[in-house]
Structure 1
């Protein structure tokens, strides 16, 4: 159990880099791990105390686990989470325990997409017009869209799940009927103006109201485009020296939005939309957490900044000591998709890291995984790679070659399939296999 002379934090979710920072910095942690995280089997618990719950974003589940473990009266120094859905819970639990965290009111501003855009617009920052759809299963009251095209999304969703572009009220009603038929648990949505163009990313650190560090990145294709067209996501970090104009353009939007939303301590992940024709730069969304995918790895590779450690230190009220070093060249990350069927075999992370320019790789699905085809959100992938290159064109080429190489080495059995179809697939996949005898064909 924790040492009373060391800081003690409550982690909602087992964020790998934050757990590693706890071990490295001599900070004890109690980890609350939900069923979905446990089932994924990716969490690397470097701390001895792990409380398993149904839902790590439920205040009731978290408090119940603390009481059952006899930890409810312990003196915690902070509550920390990288889980988008547990941000408000962390604030509420911290208030109950009497310790530090992003307070629930501020956390809500970074979760509720309507409140967030309203505050940013009130501060004079360009962002999408938005209205609340109280029940997506019944949109009969909607008679017009906020723009020619509009985006429908859960009011507090993530990873573009259940997010879609609609071009007419009729399409909106059709989508509503589809969600109703599917029995979606999310019911409160927002309908917002569609803003096209390039999708930029801003990630950084705030301490005592001061932005200590921030960096820009960009998606190769906007998230909705990737989702609609079924293409894997890829992104890159933007170099502050070779593309300084992007930083100059983004700075007032990034800093202004953070002020409007009231973040004083922590890390953030913000999305912006840039129209290269008109020059318009609009605020998209912002989370008071580390970005997903390989954002942590990109920032660390390009700038030498550990967002996971910074998040932990900010939560404890310690100012992160940063030593920012800009790595020359292009740093980016890409998803490697699976194929529909049952995964029988795939390359290892070591295999991927042996490819030209690949600096880091992570395989995220085990053998036996069943892929249904299509994508429910932008967080679906079989593996991820981080690559370095001399130019964006070279980076694109590295990603294309890695995807092809990876796909050629995937072994995927058809699903669903009859035994006859599986035998045929096996003969074609492994011609040397002997599946018959003199009686059976």
Structure 2
């Protein structure tokens, strides 16, 4: 099946693995939905994770999953040495799986080293390197932006070659989340950008320049098994990811309905299938981005990752189509073909990031309080009180919180987003960066209920 439908199927086979033949899987990073699926399917999971997950504390590792800490779960050496220290050097894993964009090639390398199922390293490279990816897709005849490789952006100093096209989007060749992404209109702007990156000593130095494409930014999230497209759900961003980062606005998304918005699936379907075929997508969950030109009706390929999309992609797909991408990722990693029971929910499913203000977060509404608002289906707060919030988040993977809605129409979705964001800002308490000490003392009385005013010693009154 290449498109969402209401056809009922059996998920896996409804059984867990026999205790004497438990399948074992090595997870790089902690994906709450992948870990949950392993527990539900009876898969013996070993999750290797790093400092960010441990320090963040948002994603808990449940009992029954072996947790192994290492300095960097994206580094093969760190993972292997951690497995040895944990006494797991001789563990016979059946597969290696990751939802972490930056650990995709590491998973491929470890699969070869451990002699178990994993993505082929050549395929992993294609799904990481945006330059190689676009070159491969364009060679297959799929409409996509022209590209130009900037081998080392730190060395573009007074020696910028003529740009083959302008304007151009400049981004790390293996980046994610729209981080360090900019638009330049000529060689002078590119040189200025290069100088700024060199001054900041950015870790990313190899960049790709892509031809700027007009249009709406669409998404396709789905499952591929044995090179065949099993399922996908189509969606759109409220505004392009780049414009959201530049403006400091809140990212918005929604899913297209395959019945009432069939035209979108008819336009995007051939491009999704052709791009996956060109990239040789084997088994896994994918997140693809596309550009739709409303004037011409053309859909162009933008980029594709062989892992689940970020933000609330898992929740939106599950809510709209009854498809669990976390479970699908586990089954694909193990070589089992997912057979989702697709049930299209009527109406509109969408989500939005929650607005923020710069400063130290004192308090904000809880997920439970957010779920009490009209048409709110799900909510998550990613930053706890006490965190210092920036003037603007620098990537789409950074946010204060997220909320998902289910409404009867797109117009009502837009209304609920605006209402919820306004309500959230009214109840958001942040100490601004520039606040003076006097104001902090006032807030201590108002919020904490404690008075830290200056007092005089009075031996009589004690």
Instruction: Check whether TM > 0.5.
Output: yes
Equivalent residue runs for 1:399-410 within 5 Å: 399-410=417-428
Equivalent residue runs for 1:171-210 within 5 Å: 171-210=189-228
Q: Quick check: 1:114 aligned with 2:116?
A: no
SS in 2 for 1:137: helix
Distance 2:233 2:362 in 1: 39
Distance 1:349 1:367 in 2: 13
The correspondence for 1:12, drawn from 7, 17, 28, is: 28
Q: Which runs of 4+ in 1 moved over 6 A?
A: none
The correspondence for 1:28, drawn from 9, 25, 44, is: 44
Q: Residue deviations 1:92-141, cap 9 Å, x none?
A: 10111111111111111000001000000000001111111111112244
Distance 2:447 2:80 in 1: 53
Distance 1:95 1:434 in 2: 63
Shift of 1:142: 2.6
Distance 2:247 2:118 in 1: 39
Q: Residue deviations 1:18-67, cap 9 Å, x none?
A: 00000101001110001112211112212441111111111111111111
Q: In the alignment, which residue of structure 2 is the partner of 1:101? A: 118
Q: Residue deviations 1:226-263, cap 9 Å, x none?
A: 11111010100000111111111111110000011111
Which range moves more in the overlay, 368-377 or 353-362?
368-377
C-alpha contact 1:336 1:382 (8 A) present in aligned 2: yes
Distance 1:145 1:331 in 2: 41
C-alpha contact 1:216 1:238 (8 A) present in aligned 2: yes
TM-score (norm. length: structure 2)? 0.91
Q: Quick check: 1:311 aligned with 2:350?
A: no
C-alpha contact 1:146 1:192 (8 A) present in aligned 2: no
Q: In the alignment, which residue of structure 1 is the partner of 2:244? A: 226
Shift of 1:374: 1.3
Distance 1:167 1:424 in 2: 49
TM-score (norm. length: structure 1)? 0.96
The correspondence for 1:391, drawn from 409, 428, 433, is: 409
C-alpha contact 2:50 2:72 (8 A) present in aligned 1: yes
Count of residue correspondences:
438
Distance 2:168 2:360 in 1: 36
C-alpha contact 1:10 1:29 (8 A) present in aligned 2: yes
Q: Residue deviations 1:123-173, cap 9 Å, x none?
A: 000111111111111224433334331111000001001011112211111
Q: In the alignment, which residue of structure 1 is the partner of 2:81? A: 64
Shift of 1:424: 4.6
Q: Quick check: 1:41 aligned with 2:63?
A: no
Which range moves more in the overlay, 348-357 or 406-415?
406-415
Structure 2, unmatched stretches of 5+, are: 1-17, 458-462
SS in 2 for 1:337: coil
The correspondence for 2:313, drawn from 273, 289, 295, is: 295
The two structures, once aligned, show a CA RMSD in angstroms of 1.8
C-alpha contact 2:441 2:451 (8 A) present in aligned 1: no
